[in-house]
Amino acid sequence: MEEQVVVLAAVTVLAVLQQAYFSLQVIYARRKFSVSPPVVTGPPAFERIFRAQANCSEYFPIFIAVLWTSGVFFSQGLSSVCGLLYLYGRFHYFHGYSEAAQQRLAPLYFSARVLWVLIGFSVLGVFLSFCRVYLQVDLLTELGSALGLD
Ligand code: JUQ
């Protein structure tokens, strides 16, 4: 069991540290631009950092849910690679957005595509598992036989 999820756990811890890093950047920006809570408006440079962190947080639960679903039901390796790519995309999204709204777009599209891949792996993994548990059909084994791979 442990070896089937330990890499997913490592990616999850890294993702949490990245969220903490984004939050720290908002704290520094509040000091730099003198924007005290609960105010969330200020110079555009502050608002971009604030929105970048808020947007990354908004997608964090969806990301973690599909990272684990696809990792447990489909493949830990592929899921973890996608997880790292997503975090890489979000890092560039955050820093791109901090510079200019336009610069957030390329990394945003990249992260969104990686998230679709994780959703696809999740759907496939859960579907195959469902067929095994409730229909006693192992579609991967069936596919292997049909292709003469066994
Ligand atoms: C919602 C639910 C599931 C999405 C891709 C994949 C799955 C995103 C849209 C963002 C932002 C940031 C900004 C990481 C067309 C379907 C999804 C999903 C969205 N998409 N937006 C936006 C707010 O700076 O504008 O972070 N992230 C997404 O995915 C694409 C959407």
Q: Look over the chain and give the mean of its residue pLDDT values, rounded to a whole number.
A: 96
Compute the average pLDDT of residues 26-45: 97
Number of the ligand 1 atom closest to the C-alpha atom of 56? 26
Element (H, E) at 101: none
For residue 63, the CA-to-ligand 1 centroid distance in Å is 11
Distance from chain centroid for Cα 119: 10
For residue 97, the CA-to-ligand 1 centroid distance in Å is 15
Whether residue 1 has pLDDT greater than 90:
no
**For ligand 1, atom 5, which residue shows the shortest CA distance?**
112
Compute the average pLDDT of residues 71-84: 98
Which residue reads 């066994």 in tokens? 150
Whether residue 37 has pLDDT greater than 80:
yes
Whether residue 135 has pLDDT greater than 90:
yes
Cβ 111 vs Cβ 103: under 8 Å = no
Number of the ligand 1 atom closest to the C-alpha atom of 97? 24
What pLDDT is recorded for position 149? 78
* Positions marked active-site: 31, 104
Tens digits of residue pLDDT in 78-111? 999 999 999 999 999 999 999 999 999 999 999 9
Per-residue DSSP letter, 43: S
Which candidate, 145, 47, 39, places its Cα nearest to that of 97? 47
Report d(CA 143, CA 149) in Å as an integer: 9
The 10 Å Cβ neighbour count of residue 5 is: 15
Whether residue 146 has pLDDT greater than 80:
yes
For residue 24, the CA-to-ligand 1 centroid distance in Å is 23
Tens digits of residue pLDDT in 2-26? 889 999 999 999 999 999 999 999 9
86-94: which pairs have CB atoms within 8 A and are 24 or more residues apart? 86/111, 86/114, 86/115, 86/118, 87/11, 87/14, 87/15, 87/18, 89/114, 90/18, 90/56, 91/18, 93/52, 93/55, 93/56, 94/22, 94/25, 94/52, 94/53, 94/56
What pLDDT is recorded for position 126? 98
The correct answer on CATH 1.20.120.550 for the domain covering 2-118 is yes
pLDDT band at 150 (very low <50, low <70, confident <90, very high): low
Contact residues of ligand 1, CB 6 A cut-off: 55, 59, 62, 104, 108, 111-112, 115-116, 119
Compute the average pLDDT of residues 18-40: 98
What pLDDT is recorded for position 58? 98
**For ligand 1, atom 19, which residue shows the shortest CA distance?**
112
What pLDDT is recorded for position 2? 86
For residue 142, the CA-to-ligand 1 centroid distance in Å is 36
